[in-house]
Amino acid sequence: MKKGFLACVVAGLMTVSCLAACGKQGGEEVIPPDAEITERVDIEFWGWGDLAEQNNYQTLVNQFMAEEGNENINVHYVGNTATVHMQNLEGRIKNLPQLFMLPDYDFYAWVADDTLKDITPYVTEEELSAVWPQAVDEYYYNPDTALLGKSDGAKLYGLPKDLGPFTLVYNEDLLNAQIAANKLNKEEIYANLLNPKEPMTWTEFRNLLKSLVPGLGENQYGISHYEIEAAIYSNDANFFTDDAATQKITDKNFTDALQFCANLALVDGVMTPEAKQDTDGFTRFQGGNCIFSFMGPWDCSQFWSFNIPFKTNILPVPYNGDNPNARSTAWVGSMGYCVSKKANALQTAAALRLAKYLCMNENAQRKFYELGQQVPNIMEMARDEYVNDTRGLIAGKDPADRSVWLDTIDGFSDTDKVGGKVRPRYYTYSSGWYAELTDYLSDQGLWKGTKTAAQICEAYSDIFQKKLTAMRKELGL
């Protein structure tokens, strides 16, 4: 971060020379985030996450305020859990914090409703070029066409907090115990099935789970739950067409993916029948009651802080080997650092300075991965320093195969068979449809075997189509 660039603020007012240097945006002065701030400015920053994540962010906010040049910026950090964050933000809609985290799947509604500030003038292409492009591109929006993504006419309305690949994780201690108890070939399993570069097929994964579960204790399972989006994406399926206009939940690839998830419990007996996609699954895994589950980089903070008493490692998500177009595809989440449109010029400058610090400052990104918070946003740091732990900041800490997360983030190639995809809710005006769909699947008996996935999706397809049409109408599309 540059120091002493320009004294843009004197007693809270702008000098004539500053007006010329800083410029205007829609009639409002634009103060560069690296301009010298000579008067105290107070900003409120709202984050989201569990207690471990909140502690991480307070650490980074304190580090930011202690840096030279930031003495006059006072940040009041408020941490919210995932269950109340959006509810609390909506309760403050008329008086939003100047900077706040916004989940990628709520971004469309908030940017379309004109609540976010266009931050394009505050960030250079050179700065953005160091960050994962797929992370940055999520927070572009064209107000004229109501379309997401970077394109001609699109403006930037947020900086990425991270990219969070959510992939398969296993309890190595419990796995090894079950391999020994069932007299399985450990060397073959690790070499052929638990390979971070060669994802398992669904058939291989099901057979592995069935071979491991005999002898498990009461209330212990092969897998805690199965991520629906991972199954659907890994069968070359989707919830709707690319423009989110037409439902695709009746497509065979889609219903086969749902049935695969259900059959882990109904046919194979390796997953609890109640284990639909929810947070309970990961809690069961943390308690040592499941061999496999799913985790993201942010979960490392919990594991390290709470001293989880078993070793873990990660794997690519399995794919349907019977489908020639299927590939291992996990969902990749993100959140944006967004600025309230009502923030004044000085607050915006301070908020963007903090956002840029958290998003792309080397010291901050290094501290984040050291704390087990995320894969670095800075591509070069992630690919070398983080994966290979060249600075020894996470020596001996799980998971060892962190490269799986990077392979998921940076997509497929001739040699990389592992990729990721944004969650479907990102592409729609409202995100509530996803919970409504999964609740319907449960209510109609998917997990109990009362009805097949194909039957349930066929019955729901017209309802879902009407929801898609209504959401596009909200956007004027």
Q: Give the tens place of pLDDT for each residue, 341-390.
A: 999 999 999 999 999 999 999 999 999 999 999 999 999 999 999 999 99
Let me know whether 248 and 185 are in one domain. yes
Number of domains in the chain: 2
Confidence bin at 424 (pLDDT 50/70/90): very high
Average pLDDT value over all residues in the chain: 92
Assigned domain for 159 exists: no
Q: H-type helices in 165-312, by residue range?
A: 172-181, 186-188, 202-212, 228-233, 252-266, 279-286, 299-306
The pLDDT of residue 16 is above 50? no
Let me know whether 261 and 176 are in one domain. yes
- Residue 426's φ and ψ, nearest 5 degrees, are -60, -30
Identify the CA nearest to 381 among candidates 408, 411, 370, 67.
370
Candidate from 8-22, 175-189, 244-258, 298-312 with smallest mean pLDDT = 8-22
Assign 3-state DSSP to the chain and report helix, strand, coil percentages, each to 5. Answer: 40, 20, 40
How many Å apart are CA 323 and CA 376, to the nearest integer?
34
Question: How many Cβ atoms sit within 10 Å of the Cβ of residue 299?
Answer: 25
pLDDT of residue 353: 97
Assigned domain for 459 exists: yes
Let me know whether 339 and 271 are in one domain. no
The pLDDT of residue 9 is above 60? no
Give the mean pLDDT of 442-461: 97
Instruction: Supply the Cα-derived Rg of the chain in whole angstroms.
Output: 23
Task: Tell which wins on pLDDT, 304 or 359.
Answer: 359
Assigned domain for 389 exists: no
Let me know whether 227 and 90 are in one domain. no
Confidence bin at 24 (pLDDT 50/70/90): low
Give all strands (DSSP E) within 120-237, no chain letters: 140-142, 147-148, 155-156, 159-160, 164-171, 221-223
Q: Give the tens place of pLDDT for each residue, 202-239.
A: 999 999 999 999 999 988 999 999 999 999 999 999 99
What burial letters (b/e) apply to 218-243, b meaning 16+ CB within 10 Å? eebbbbbbbbbbbbbbbbbbbbbeee
How many Å apart are CA 411 and CA 188, to the nearest integer?
28
The boundaries of the domain holding residue 341 are: 16-105+335-370
Let me know whether 207 and 76 are in one domain. no
Let me know whether 234 and 328 are in one domain. yes
Confidence bin at 69 (pLDDT 50/70/90): very high
Torsion angle, CA of 213/215/216/218, rounded to 10 degrees? 130
Candidate from 3-7, 43-47, 424-428 with smallest mean pLDDT = 3-7
Q: What is the pTM of this model?
A: 0.92
Let me know whether 227 and 289 are in one domain. yes
The pLDDT of residue 88 is above 90? yes
Assigned domain for 99 exists: yes
Assigned domain for 379 exists: no
The pLDDT of residue 283 is above 60? yes
Q: H-type helices in 400-452, by residue range?
A: 403-410, 432-443
Let me know whether 48 and 60 are in one domain. yes
Assigned domain for 378 exists: no
Assigned domain for 412 exists: no
The pLDDT of residue 174 is above 60? yes
Assigned domain for 122 exists: no
Confidence bin at 22 (pLDDT 50/70/90): low
Question: How many Cβ atoms sit within 10 Å of the Cβ of residue 304?
Answer: 16
Let me know whether 343 and 448 are in one domain. no
Question: Which range scores top for mean pLDDT: 24-28, 35-39, 87-91?
Answer: 87-91
Which CATH number goes with the domain that contains 303? 3.40.190.10
Candidate from 6-20, 110-124, 301-315, 426-440 with smallest mean pLDDT = 6-20
pLDDT of residue 195: 96
Give the mean pLDDT of 127-149: 97
Let me know whether 427 and 293 are in one domain. yes
Let me know whether 339 and 467 are in one domain. no
Let me know whether 285 and 316 are in one domain. yes
Confidence bin at 26 (pLDDT 50/70/90): low
How many Å apart are CA 67 and CA 350, to the nearest integer?
13
